[in-house]
Amino acid sequence: MKKLFAMYAQPADEAAFLRHYNEVHTPLVEKIPGLARLVVNRVQAAPLGGEPPYFLIAEMHFADNASFTQAMRSPENRAAGDDLADFAQGLVTLLVVEDG
C-alpha cells in the first residue's frame, strides 16, 4: 500500500485550523481520484516525554504506485495542495511511504 502522510505541527489557533481542515480541506482530499482511504489520527501524547512534534497525522492510502502517481497528477490533488499551501504553510510535513 502506497500512502501520503501529512503531519501537522500544532497550529496557533487549533479551533480555526480544524474548522478549515474538516470543512474545506478534507472535502478536497476526498475528491482525489484513486484515494482508497483517508485516515485522520489525532495525536494524544508523546510517551517518551517532551511536546509531541505533531498534533494531527493524516494518511492518504492508494492501492499501488500507479494509482498514487495518477492521483498526484490530478487537478483534484492540485486543488488540495493549493489549499494546503494556504492554510498549513510552515505547519505540514508530507511523506510518501510504503508498507508491506
The site for a second copy (CB under 8 A) is made up of: 3-5, 39-48, 52-54, 57, 92-99
- For residue 13, the minimal CB distance to a second copy (Å) is 21
Query: Shortest distance, CB of residue 31 to a second copy, whole angstroms?
Result: 19
Nearer to a second copy, 15 or 47 (CB): 47
Backbone angles phi, psi at 59, to 5 degrees: -120, 125
Q: CB–CB of 58/17 below 8 Å?
A: no
Shortest approach of a second copy to residue 85 CB, angstroms? 9
